[in-house]
């Protein structure tokens, strides 16, 4: 090498080394990738009226909120009689090889539709979503065609599905507005299945799988529905809550963290209910309402009232949840099909739940001889759920329809077997 070349190349080499040392590592570059914008929408569940929105038409990736559509198509097949909860589907190699989270089922195994539903709702299991897709449509591609056709039918004009689970795919996109349409359709089209979304835990082959939607544990009135996350989307949440018989549904996409996403959702829902963080429902005076509560309970011609704890745990391979050892059971299906109820709302204080039920009875004379259940809070849920039970499915749907006509929101729920906390 000539001397003049050495004089120029030596400093250049030193500069290259220094630049290499100063350059951020690859993981730091990934961390600086632009975060998706935080977008949201909240609607009235009954009317569909938009109560608030921010960037609701900005596209993002749905992540596991995709499973809401997969579940919609499963519920639709159940409603049409094409499948039953105890229908068994074979697990393919493709399904078993899905990335976590998943149930961990193996190729050649069989799994019930019931278990697939609760696996998707609580565990957000990707293998369960693929098993359901292949079972219903024969293969994933055919199922995805159904997903997109249903999205168009529901008016989800800015949504494209590419898989049934929500695993990363750059072409799988949606908006907050489209997802709130889907959430509302689940509530209206399948009122008998919608309570599944409030399941706190699912016991599958001895393992307890807990719901990822932890905001349900803290926000008064929330009873579902789904969380989602991939790196490209941020933290997503579709949520439904009811207070004083009024239900709202919200979607938040692109949260920077689960806590931040939940905080935004709680704030938006409180605003939608016209309440601040110091929710007046939480501040009800128990002593003030005791006389009214006693009067309602003790009316000779009034309904029988039971105070019950909700079913918090779904068991694998069973159409209805089982009781835990040591619990007392009160069956709601002793004579055929009268194991349905209508839920009027969820409340932070028991007297508020009683008042909501009393209001429903005052508006609808046909409820006179029905049984009232006030579902007591569990360790994960500080809410009292107000229900009127002992209907057939058709009776419950008709009663709920009549209450809605009288401006009282409600939902049809299967009662099945419950845990007795207190009875009168």
Nearest alpha-carbon partner for 396 in 376, 367, 420:
367
Residue 418 bridge partners (DSSP)? 330
Query: What's the N-to-C CA distance of the chain in angstroms?
Result: 100
Cα 178 from chain centroid (whole Å): 16
* Inter-residue contact 350 to 358 (CB < 8 Å): no
Over the range 351-368, which residues count as b (16 or more CB within 10 Å of their CB) and which as e?
A: bbbbbbbbbbbeebeebe
Q: So which residues are the catalytic ones?
A: 64, 67, 124
383 in the Ramachandran plot: left (φ > 0), alpha (ψ -120 to 50) or beta? Answer: beta
Tokens of 17: 């080394």
Sheet holding 201-204, edge to edge: 207-210, 201-204, 313-315
* Inter-residue contact 123 to 209 (CB < 8 Å): yes
């Amino acid at each position: 090498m000539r001397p003049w070349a050495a004089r120029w190349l030596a400093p250049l080499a030193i500069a290259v080394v220094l630049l290499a040392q100063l350059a951020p590592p690859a993981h730091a570059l990934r961390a600086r990738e632009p975060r998706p914008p935080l977008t949201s929408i909240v609607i009235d569940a009954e009317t569909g009226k938009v109560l608030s929105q921010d960037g609701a038409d900005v596209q993002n990736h749905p992540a596991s909120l995709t499973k809401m559509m997969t579940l919609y198509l499963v519920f639709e097949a159940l409603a049409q009689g094409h499948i039953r909860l105890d229908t068994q589907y074979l697990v393919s190699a493709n399904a078993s090889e899905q990335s976590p989270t998943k149930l961990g089922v193996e190729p050649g195994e069989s799994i019930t539709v019931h278990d697939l539903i609760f696996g998707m709702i609580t565990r957000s299991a990707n293998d369960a979503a693929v098993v359901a897709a292949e079972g219903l449509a024969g293969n994933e591609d055919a199922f995805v065609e159904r997903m997109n056709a249903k999205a168009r039918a529901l008016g989800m004009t800015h949504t494209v599905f590419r898989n049934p689970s929500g695993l990363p795919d750059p072409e799988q996109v949606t908006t907050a507005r489209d997802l709130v349409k889907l959430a509302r359709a689940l509530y209206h089209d399948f009122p008998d299945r919608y309570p599944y979304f409030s399941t706190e835990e699912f016991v599958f082959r001895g393992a307890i799988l807990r719901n990822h939607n932890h905001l349900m544990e803290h926000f008064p009135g929330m009873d579902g529905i789904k969380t989602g996350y991939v790196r490209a989307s941020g933290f997503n949440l579709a949520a439904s809550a009811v207070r004083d018989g009024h239900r709202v549904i919200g979607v938040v996409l692109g949260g920077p963290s689960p806590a931040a996403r939940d905080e935004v959702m709680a704030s938006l829902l409180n605003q939608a209910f016209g309440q601040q963080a110091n929710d007046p429902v939480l501040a009800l005076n128990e002593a003030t309402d005791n006389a009214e509560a006693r009067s309602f309970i003790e009316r000779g011609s009034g309904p029988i009232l039971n105070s019950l704890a909700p079913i918090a745990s779904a068991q694998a391979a069973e159409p209805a949840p089982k009781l835990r050892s040591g619990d007392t059971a009160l069956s709601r299906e002793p004579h055929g099909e009268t194991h349905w109820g209508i839920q009027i709302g969820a409340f932070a204080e028991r007297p508020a739940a009683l008042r909501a039920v009393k209001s429903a009875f005052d508006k609808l004379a046909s409820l006179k001889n029905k049984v009232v259940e006030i579902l007591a809070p569990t360790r994960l849920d500080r809410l009292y759920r107000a229900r009127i039970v002992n209907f057939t499915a058709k009776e419950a749907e008709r009663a709920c329809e009549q209450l809605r006509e009288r401006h009282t929101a409600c939902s049809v729920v299967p009662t099945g077997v419950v845990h007795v906390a207190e009875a009168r």
